[in-house]
């Protein structure tokens, strides 16, 4: 019960997918007992939900009309840079999830 509370309490501070992956990595070796495994699985679902929320925010921002481009910037280059930055915002958490071997063992 104490380990379950520790995992749950630690996840209250998680704000990014990367932080969640790091915490799950720390606690992954403890997920051998059934009760701890349930908490671990629940937090894994929370982590994927967090990633899904980030995806939806990027999708919503991309669906918006074009970004405000300063007049001093070339129009198409600025839009391309903006789109690339949105993609990078998704790529970083996605790479963390792909690198998390302990999430794919199950």
pLDDT tens readout for residues 29-66: 888 888 888 998 999 999 999 999 999 999 998 887 66
Q: First-to-last CA distance in the chain? A: 23
Instruction: Please tell me which residue, 87 or 105, carries the higher pLDDT value.
Output: 87
Other Cβ atoms less than 10 A from the Cβ of 60: the count is 9
Determine the Cα angle at 28 with ends 22 and 29, to 5°. 130
Helix (H, G, I), strand (E, B) or coil at 77: helix
Classify the C-alpha dihedral 53-56-62-65 as positive or negative. negative
CA 104 to centroid of chain Cα atoms: 15
What does pLDDT average to over the chain? 86
């Amino acid at each position: 019960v104490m380990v379950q509370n520790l995992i749950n309490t630690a996840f209250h501070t998680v704000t990014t997918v990367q932080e969640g992956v790091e915490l799950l990595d720390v606690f992954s070796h403890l997920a051998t007992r059934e009760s701890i495994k349930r908490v671990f699985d629940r937090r894994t679902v929370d982590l994927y939900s967090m990633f899904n929320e980030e995806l939806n925010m990027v999708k919503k921002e991309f669906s918006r009309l074009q970004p405000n481009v300063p007049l001093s910037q070339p129009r198409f280059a600025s839009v391309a840079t903006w789109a690339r930055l949105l993609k990078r915002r998704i790529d970083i958490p996605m790479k963390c999830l792909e690198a998390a071997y302990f999430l794919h063992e199950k």
